C-alpha cells in the first residue's frame, strides 16, 4: 500500500533462470513494500532468492515479470546509463566482501561516489569528513583497503554507501566476513544512522546478530516470502505469495 513514506514498492516479482531449458524460479511472485526508516532483514537459506531480491530492488538485475518502484519511479523500465544514474543518486550498496576500490584510499573511496555525482568540492570534503567520523575511521582516511581490517573496510563501505545521500541502503550479507566484535560495531553504526538520520536499511543475511537487531524480518524460501514479522508500527507493510 503506497503512501508518502513509501521508498520501495515491488510488484509481483518473478525471476526465472534457464527459462528455455529447466526453469528455475529464483523469485516467484514476490510483493514487497518498504517504508522510509525501516531496518529490515531478509533471511532465508542459501538459494532462497535473497540476493536476487536485493539485486531487483537495487536495479542490478531485471525481473522476468513484475516491476519495482522506488519513490514512485519504475526502475524496471530504466535502461543503461539512466538506470546507473538512478542507482548513483538513490541507492546505497554495502557488499559482503566490502568491494572497495583497492587503489584508492579510504577517503578517496568515499569521495569517489560524490565526484561521480559532480558535487561541489567543498561539499564533498565536508561530507567525507563527517562520514569518516560517523564510522569512526577519520584517522584511517589515508589508508588503502589492504591496510585496513575487514571490519574497517566494511565501515568505509557503509560511509561510501551513505555518501551520495541515497533513499535507502541495500546490504548483502554485510557481516558475513566479520568477527563478532567488528560485526557488532558495524551494526551499531548502522542502527545509529537508522535511528538518528532515519536511513532505511535492507539486509540480506544469515547472521542471527543482524536478524536480532532488525525491526522487520522477511523470510524467503524457494523464491517466495514465507514470513514477514513486521512490527506493529509498520503493520501496513504487506506481503503476498502465490
User: Which of 16, 104, 191, 211 is the binder for another protein (CB under 8 A)?
Assistant: 104
Decide if residue 58 touches another protein (CB under 8 A).
yes
Could you give the 3-state DSSP secondary structure of residue 94? strand
Decide if residue 164 touches another protein (CB under 8 A).
yes
Cα 109 from Cα 104, distance rounded (Å): 6
Query: Which of 7/230 has CB closer to another protein?
Result: 7
Residue with cell 523464491: 223
Query: Which of 115/226 has CB closer to another protein?
Result: 115
Query: Which of 90/237 has CB closer to another protein?
Result: 90
Tell me the closest approach of the beta carbon of residue 61 to another protein, in angstroms. 4
Decide if residue 67 touches another protein (CB under 8 A).
no
Q: Interacting stretch for another protein, rule CB under 8 A, among 5-13, 76-84, 203-211, 220-228?
A: 76-84
Cα 234 from Cα 43, distance rounded (Å): 18
Decide if residue 197 touches another protein (CB under 8 A).
no
Q: Encode burial over 78-110: b for 16+ CB neighbours within 10 A, e otherwise.
A: beeeebeebbeebbbbbbbebbbeeeebbbbbb
Decide if residue 81 touches another protein (CB under 8 A).
yes
Query: Which of 24/115 has CB closer to another protein?
Result: 115
Query: Which of 153/237 has CB closer to another protein?
Result: 153
Q: Encode burial over 197-227: b for 16+ CB neighbours within 10 A, e otherwise.
A: eebbbbbbbebeebbebbbbbbbbebbbbee
Amino acid at each position: 500500500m503506497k503512501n508518502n513514506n513509501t521508498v520501495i514498492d515491488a510488484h509481483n516479482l518473478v525471476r526465472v533462470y534457464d527459462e528455455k531449458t529447466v526453469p528455475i524460479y529464483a523469485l516467484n511472485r514476490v510483493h514487497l513494500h518498504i517504508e522510509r526508516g525501516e531496518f529490515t532483514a531478509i533471511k532465508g537459506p542459501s538459494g532462497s532468492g535473497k540476493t536476487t531480491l536485493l539485486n531487483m530492488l537495487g536495479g542490478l538485475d531485471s525481473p522476468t515479470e513484475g516491476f519495482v518502484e522506488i519513490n514512485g519511479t519504475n526502475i524496471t523500465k530504466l535502461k543503461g546509463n539512466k538506470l546507473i544514474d538512478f542507482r548513483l543518486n538513490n541507492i546505497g550498496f554495502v557488499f559482503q566482501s566490502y568491494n572497495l576500490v583497492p587503489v584508492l584510499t579510504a577517503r578517496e573511496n568515499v569521495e569517489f561516489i560524490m565526484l561521480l555525482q559532480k558535487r561541489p568540492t567543498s561539499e564533498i570534503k565536508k561530507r567525507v569528513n563527517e562520514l569518516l567520523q560517523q564510522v569512526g575511521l577519520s584517522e584511517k582516511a589515508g589508508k588503502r583497503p589492504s591496510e585496513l581490517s575487514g571490519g574497517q573496510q566494511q565501515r568505509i563501505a557503509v560511509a561510501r554507501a551513505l555518501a551520495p545521500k541515497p533513499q535507502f541502503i541495500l546490504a548483502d550479507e554485510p557481516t558475513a566476513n566479520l568477527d563478532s566484535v567488528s560485526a557488532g560495531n558495524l551494526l551499531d553504526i548502522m542502527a545509529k544512522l537508522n535511528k538518528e538520520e532515519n536511513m532505511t536499511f535492507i539486509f540480506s543475511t544469515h547472521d542471527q546478530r543482524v536478524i536480532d537487531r532488525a525491526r522487520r524480518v522477511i523470510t524467503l524460501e524457494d523464491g517466495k516470502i514465507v514470513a514477514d514479522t513486521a512490527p506493529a508500527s509498520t503493520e501496513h507493510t504487506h506481503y503476498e505469495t502465490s
